[in-house]
Amino acid sequence: MLSNTRFARSANGIDHFGGTVAHTTPATVASPSSPAVPPSAGITSRGGTPSPVHTLIVLLSTLGVLVYSAFLLNPQHRGDVIPYVMVLTAESILVFHALLAMWTILAGSNNPRDFTYYLAQNNLFPKDFRGHAKRAPFIINGREHIVDVFITTYGEDLGVIKKTVKAALAMRGRHNTWVLDDGKSDEVRDLATTLGARYVRRLSSGGAKAGNVNHALTLAKGDLFAIFDADFVPHRDFLVETVPFFVDSKVAFVQTPQSYGNLHTVVARGAGYMQTVFYRFIQPGRNRFNAAFCVGTNVVFRRAAIDDVDGMYTDSKSEDVWTSLRLHERGWRSVFIPDVLAVGEAPETIEAYSKQQLRWATGGFEIMLTHNPLSRRRNLTMDQRIQYFVTATFYLTGICPLLLLLVPSLEIYFDMRPMTVSVSVLTWFLFYAGFYVMQILLAFYTLGSFRWETLTLAMVSFPIYVKALFNVFTGRDVGWQATGTARGNSPYNFVVPQMLFFLFLSLTSVVAVYRDITNGVATLAMAWNVTNTLILGAFIISVARDARLLRRGVATAPAPAPAAPVPPRTVVARPVQDPRTFFPPVAPAPTPVREPVAAMARTSSSKEAML
């Protein structure tokens, strides 16, 4: 009864992932002359429009959900109160999210690229710069648009940052690349200067990543700005594929998927595959409702839109969703395109995954408890209210396994059943299969195979989400840490609740097997509990493997020399301008004067030192 979390958790969440899909070439506007923007080669596209087979599976899954719901709600099938309420609560949350996910998937048939987009892309670069696209200015609506590219860093490996900076510099179209270093590393500063990127270090780390971006916006004066996490390497045509959408003056941001290239561990594969449905079908479906939200990286923003909401939202560690919500409340439009235009790294360790999920879940619960999207005070359409409510409540689906894990033990120890004795195992299984088997089939069709890693992580992550909900209730702050920087701690420190549950379920399974052998009848509770125990056991084995690899790494890797303390200061390092590579604007135009994004950024920018 836990298998449904695999689909529901992959379908609606704030988590981020990109999966394996076919390679396609985006179309371009046909023109009698040579196009200014040739087709972008090597871009991975997810589609986003459900195929007829996929639509059929979704409709059958929806029917299965409705039939199973009617079975659970039938008073004649109600068993003992406590287990019945536990099952009904968990299944109601999962059913709600499954139905909304399928509704969103079926809505995702609109291609955000219309004729206006292709026309803008065809005229994106001046004709004089054909063949020199890396140096060509972006022209939108007949006017040059200055584009800034922000790479946010916070202690990631130097090699990881180097790959991202080099790829960002190599993107087509004239742009300024900035390395925003909250890790205050002189090595990162030297790397940025050597590669030809601008480097920014601020006085403090207030506001985490959002504060870092807000501070950079007081220095950069572009009309558009892209954001990349330090481990996401952009495609050379990232800007070519996203900037043309801004021909519509109401577009606030254009979001692309997160795709991972390091699916080498159980945790990385589970965290990665968990989001395949979300990026392939859910986000494209949200385009229909103007409710696609930013995921923090691989995104391009309009500067005027961010100024309109007083900067990136800094009062949450999930600044991406909060900023999206504020933009939509102000009437701005968002666009999601399913093309993979940047590849990053999924969390590879238990520590990294736990901290990432805790941060994201906390942001979702903050919206649910402090900024209810269904409130009449929110300036949102009804469709947007529903979509953001789904986002805010999504991580409740991660707590549902906790309730379902306890149900078999109530029957084994106390003879308390969620269903009446008159309901046979076969009858229950038929209704059960209509719901879960169809959802597994849908996930199988989407992923191309059965991903047991996703099922495992979906089942065992409930302590993270319980902690996140508790933190929001109590107002406890969650420290921000980049996903790629979590390392060095024993994974056992992050799975104590799971280990205790595994011990409890193991003992309960022994009791259940002994009882069934004694009675000469195999029960559903015994099979259910043993299955849960095996899934938790597989997770514990992966934790042990993670710990063993960590010990080997500690034993073989030399201890790094202690870094010299860096005095707090704001540093702006710009590469020396080579006159051979300098190209003046196509037409001189006065630089618009903008108000600073935030008061904090005003004070810090006045103290910057130019190197």
Q: What is the pLDDT of residues 525-542, one digit of tens each?
A: 999 999 999 999 999 998
Q: In the predicted model, is pLDDT for residue 54 greater than 80?
A: no
User: Which pLDDT score is estimated for 211?
Assistant: 94
Please state the domain extents for the chain: 115-350+570-610
Q: In the predicted model, is pLDDT for residue 564 greater than 50?
A: no
Contact 165, 151 (CB under 8 A): yes
pLDDT averaged over every residue in the chain: 82
Contact 140, 208 (CB under 8 A): no
Q: In the predicted model, is pLDDT for residue 411 greater than 90?
A: yes
Q: Which residues touch 436 (CB under 8 Å, ≥6 apart)?
A: 1, 3, 4
Distance CA 280, CA 105 (A): 9
Contact 121, 244 (CB under 8 A): yes
User: Which pLDDT score is estimated for 484?
Assistant: 54
Q: What is the per-residue pLDDT across 9-31, written as a single tens digit (0 to 9) for each?
A: 443 333 333 333 333 333 333 33
Of 38-47, 90-99, 182-191, 426-435, the poorest mean pLDDT is in 38-47
Of 260-269, 322-331, 429-438, the poorest mean pLDDT is in 429-438
| Residue 82 CB neighbours (<10 A) | 14
Instruction: Look up residue 21 and give its two tokens.
Output: 């899909």
508: left (phi over 0), alpha (psi -120 to 50) or beta: alpha
pTM of the model as a whole? 0.81
Distance CA 50, CA 47 (A): 8
Of 117-131, 147-161, 573-587, the poorest mean pLDDT is in 573-587
User: Which pLDDT score is estimated for 53?
Assistant: 80
Strands 251-255 and 333-336, by their bridges, are parallel
Question: Which one-letter amino acid corresponds to residue 195?
Answer: L
Contact 297, 228 (CB under 8 A): yes
Q: What is the per-residue pLDDT across 82-122, written as a single tens digit (0 to 9) for each?
A: 999 999 999 999 989 988 988 898 887 678 999 999 999 99
User: Which pLDDT score is estimated for 127?
Assistant: 83
Q: What is the per-residue pLDDT across 122-136, written as a single tens digit (0 to 9) for each?
A: 999 998 776 666 789
200 — phi, psi (to 5°)? -130, 130
Of 17-26, 172-181, 284-293, the poorest mean pLDDT is in 17-26
User: Which pLDDT score is estimated for 64?
Assistant: 85
Higher pLDDT, 264 or 554: 264
Higher pLDDT, 317 or 96: 96
Name the band, by pLDDT with cuts 50, 70 and 90, for residue 570: low
Contact 128, 576 (CB under 8 A): no
Q: In the predicted model, is pLDDT for residue 326 greater than 90?
A: yes
Higher pLDDT, 468 or 582: 468
Distance CA 499, CA 492 (A): 9
Widest CA span of the chain, in angstroms? 89
Mean pLDDT (whole number) for 233-260: 97
Q: Is 198 helix (H, G, I), strand (E, B) or coil?
A: strand
Cα(first)–Cα(last) distance of the chain, in Å? 61
Q: Is 553 helix (H, G, I), strand (E, B) or coil?
A: helix
User: Which pLDDT score is estimated for 555?
Assistant: 38
Distance CA 124, CA 174 (A): 11
Residue 464: enclosing H or E segment and its boundaries?
A: helix 462-474
Name the band, by pLDDT with cuts 50, 70 and 90, for residue 573: low
Distance CA 531, CA 128 (A): 66
Superfamily of domain 115-350+570-610: Spore Coat Polysaccharide Biosynthesis Protein SpsA; Chain A (3.90.550.10)
Q: In the predicted model, is pLDDT for residue 604 greater than 90?
A: no
Name the band, by pLDDT with cuts 50, 70 and 90, for residue 232: very high
Distance CA 335, CA 7 (A): 24
User: What secondary structure does DSSP assign to 116-130, as a single string?
Assistant: HHHHHHHTSS-GGGT
Handedness of CA 282, 285, 291, 292 (dihedral sign): positive
Of 20-24, 195-199, 384-388, the poorest mean pLDDT is in 20-24
User: What secondary structure does DSSP assign to 393-446, as a single string?
Assistant: HGGGGGTHHHHHHHHHHHHHHH---SB-TTS-HHHHHHHHHHHHHHHHHHHHHH
Distance CA 477, CA 57 (A): 42
